[in-house]
Every structure is written in structure tokens, then in C-alpha cells.
């Protein structure tokens, strides 16, 4: 089938061949850009996420879009970021709950020393969670 198509294209006039080549290259480029775009969006949102609820919502919707469209999801270790947490827990929790959803939005933080450095502060302050902080 492909050989027949190639032989047919070879017999076409040169301007039409150029147009077909352009369309082919454009299609391949658009597929490549779509992949790059998903990675770029994630990196840009991760940069803006610090204490910015709007960026967090955009990132959550981005993860859900990738999941719903069966597009490649970012690696777990690439989703971490800090809003209040000591390490990258805020981004990791955002990624997890973006994909699996939430039910009662309750949390328990054992060994809570203060709001900065706690992995539940972002959930409570920006996402409407309640919790017991010990």
C-alpha cells in the first residue's frame, strides 16, 4: 500500500510534491511540538507554583488532561516542588491527588513543628483541607 502511494506521489508535478512534503514535515513537527509543549507547560507551572494557588490549579488540570488524553505523564520524581513543605512533598501530593482525586480532604500530620516545612500546610491553606496537626 505504501509503495503504491510513493509511486503515485513520484508521478505528481513538482509543486504538489513540495506541498505534500511540507504537509508531512508539518504533521511530524506538530506531533513533536505537542510533546515538547506538555513538558514546557509543566516546567513553567512548576516555576510559578511557589505560593500561587492559580498555578497549582493549572498544574492539577494539566496532569488531569494528560491522564484523560492518555498522554505520557511526567515521572513521579519530576513532579516535586515546595510551597510550604521541607522537601518536595507539596508537588508530589499535588500530582498524586490530581490523578486519583480526593474524598474527605482530611489530613493528619504527626510531629508538626510549624506551618513552614510541613507537608500538610499547602493542603490546608490552598486546597481547603482540614486536619489534625500534632
Cα angle 8-14-20, degrees, rounded to a multiple of 5: 65
This prediction has a pTM of 0.64
Q: CB 59: neighbour CB atoms within 10 A?
A: 24
Looking at residue 37, its pLDDT comes to: 59
pLDDT tens profile 91-123 = 999 999 999 999 999 998 888 888 888 888 889
pLDDT tens profile 20-61 = 665 666 555 555 555 555 666 666 655 555 557 888 888 899
Q: Is residue 59 part of a domain?
A: yes
Q: Is residue 70 part of a domain?
A: yes
Alpha-carbon gap, residue 31 to 53, rounded angstroms = 31
Looking at residue 93, its pLDDT comes to: 95
Q: Report the number of distinct structural domains present in the chain.
A: 1
- 73: closest CA among 27, 29, 41? 41
Four-CA torsion 20, 24, 30, 35, nearest 10 degrees:
180
Q: Which domain holds residue 111?
A: 13-133
Amino acid at each position: 500500500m505504501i509503495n503504491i502511494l510513493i509511486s503515485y506521489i513520484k508521478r505528481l508535478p513538482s509543486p504538489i510534491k513540495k506541498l505534500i512534503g511540507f504537509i508531512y514535515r508539518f504533521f511530524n513537527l506538530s506531533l513533536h511540538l505537542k510533546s515538547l509543549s506538555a513538558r514546557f507547560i509543566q516546567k513553567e507551572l512548576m516555576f510559578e507554583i511557589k505560593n500561587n494557588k492559580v498555578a497549582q490549579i493549572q498544574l492539577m488540570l494539566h496532569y488531569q488532561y494528560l491522564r484523560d488524553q492518555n498522554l505520557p505523564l511526567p515521572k513521579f520524581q519530576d513532579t516535586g516542588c515546595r510551597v510550604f513543605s521541607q522537601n518536595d512533598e507539596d508537588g508530589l501530593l499535588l500530582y498524586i491527588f490530581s490523578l486519583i482525586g480526593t474524598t474527605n480532604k482530611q489530613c493528619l500530620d504527626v510531629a508538626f513543628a510549624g506551618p513552614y516545612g510541613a507537608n500538610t500546610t499547602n493542603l490546608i491553606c490552598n486546597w481547603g483541607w482540614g486536619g489534625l496537626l500534632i
